[in-house]
Structure 1
Amino acid sequence: MDTIEVERVVAVEERNWWYRERRHLVARELRRLGRPGTGLDVGAAGGGNTRVLLDRGWEAVAVDASPAGVEAARRRGVDARLGDACDLPFPDASFDFAMALDVLEHIEDDAGAARELARVVRPGGAALVTVPCDMRLWSAHDEALGHVRRYDRADLAEVLTDAGFEIGRLWSWNVLLRPVVRMRRRASTGCDLEALPGWLDRSLHAVVAAERALPVGALPGVSLVARLTRP
């Protein structure tokens, strides 16, 4: 992620519906894990998701390949390191939990990045991975963000299991808004990340938040989420 894109993310993520709900998703997964431990956020950009770990008592580190991302995270009080997702600057089995949220789609060697993520998680530890799904949704938005691919379930499952993870659950996210996203992306000419009027942001957040209680995870969505363990 380049400097301009990092600055764009930092500027909107606190008040943007998509980022807020993704932070809720992370918090929910952390509650499942119980007692806090050591955590790693790979591809952390400005550290917005890392702070979810910190706010819940985790000893967390952020890693990003962008100096701008590292600096932005440090300004927010996050322990951030410059590093490559395919060559993480940590020993084997360093963390109880690691996450790579919308990271693998940016990396040519996504298999190598997945192996590195598994390498730094201790046996018995956990991980969380999110990616955009379905190449039918490919658009100028993906190109502007530097995406290499969008995933289907089988491809993502193969990358993660080959890396050494066991998949506890693999589900779709942002399902209810997929028709809206698909129409939007057909007309997209670049990155769709922007601040929205308050009423629209609240409305979109209410729709995606409804998925917390609805059994829609097996339906086509805009993203895939994988809950993982390290044997």
Structure 2
Amino acid sequence: MDTIEIQRIVEVEDDNWWYRERRRIVARELRRTGGRGLAVDIGAAGGGNTRVLKDHGWRAIAVDSSATAVDLCLAQGIEAFHADACYLPLPSGEQDLALALNVLEHIDDDRAAVGEIVRVLRPGGAALVAVPCDMALWSAHDVALGRVRRYSRRALTDLLEEAGLVVDRMWSWNVLLRPLVRLRRHRTAHCEDMAHLHPYLNEALHLVTALERHLPVRSWPGVTLFARVTRP
């Protein structure tokens, strides 16, 4: 992710519907985890999810391959390291929790990145992973964001399990918005910047994602896949 894109994220993530709802998912999973301890946010960008970890009492650090992202995290008082996700600057077997949210799709060797998650987690430690779903949704948006793939459920499950992780849960997100996303992205030859939305549209999209929380649609095809995994 380039410097301009990271700066855009920092500018809008407190109010943008997508980032707001993703932080809510992180907070929900932290409540389910119950405990607190050491956590690493891999591909932290502006540190929005790292702040969620800290707000819930975790001793959290951010890691990103962008020096700009690291500087932005440090400016907010977040401990941060400039590093590749395939070579995390952390000891083995110490982290209680790892976040890798919309990271793996940017990495050519995603197996190496997942292997690093396994390495730094303690036995019994957990990770929360999110990736874009389904190559049928591939568009200029993915290219502009520097993605190299989207994932099916089977592909993501195989990637995680082959690394030695146990998949506790996997679910789809933005199921209700998938038809609209597919239509709009396939009708344009450029990357649509979801950051620049009219406030009414931003709130409408937030309400749709809020409605989705209460519907039994997590097994349906969506735009994003989440997985909660454990290192045995």
TM-score w.r.t. the length of structure 2 is 0.97
Per the alignment, residue 49 of structure 1 pairs with: 49
- Between 1:97-106 and 1:30-39, the stretch displaced more is 30-39
Q: Which runs of 5+ in 1 are unaligned?
A: none
Per the alignment, residue 231 of structure 2 pairs with: 230
Q: Which runs of 5+ in 2 are unaligned?
A: none
Per the alignment, residue 207 of structure 1 pairs with: 208
Distance in 2 between the 1:164 and 1:213 partners?
Answer: 32
Per the alignment, residue 3 of structure 1 pairs with: 3
Distance in 1 between the 2:220 and 2:191 partners?
Answer: 27
Distance in 1 between the 2:88 and 2:194 partners?
Answer: 28
Q: What's the offset of the Cα at 1:187?
A: 2.4
Distance in 1 between the 2:119 and 2:167 partners?
Answer: 16
Per the alignment, residue 84 of structure 1 pairs with: 84
Q: Does the 8 Å contact 2:133/2:150 carry over to 1?
A: yes
TM-score w.r.t. the length of structure 1 is 0.98
Per the alignment, residue 183 of structure 1 pairs with: 183
Q: Does the 8 Å contact 1:61/1:79 carry over to 2?
A: yes
Q: What's the offset of the Cα at 1:77?
A: 1.7
Percent of aligned positions that are identical:
59
Q: Quote the RMSD (CA, aligned, Å).
A: 0.9
Q: What's the offset of the Cα at 1:37?
A: 1.1
Per the alignment, residue 154 of structure 1 pairs with: 154
Give the residue type in structure 1 aligned to 2:216: P
Distance in 1 between the 2:174 and 2:183 partners?
Answer: 14
Task: Please say if 1:192 is aligned against 2:193.
Answer: yes
Q: What's the offset of the Cα at 1:225?
A: 0.3
Q: Does the 8 Å contact 1:101/1:129 carry over to 2?
A: yes
Q: Does the 8 Å contact 1:142/1:191 carry over to 2?
A: no
Q: Does the 8 Å contact 1:39/1:98 carry over to 2?
A: yes
Q: What's the offset of the Cα at 1:118?
A: 1.1
Distance in 2 between the 1:95 and 1:155 partners?
Answer: 25
Distance in 2 between the 1:164 and 1:94 partners?
Answer: 17
**What does 1:1-231 correspond to in 2, within 5 Å?**
1-188=1-188, 189-231=190-232
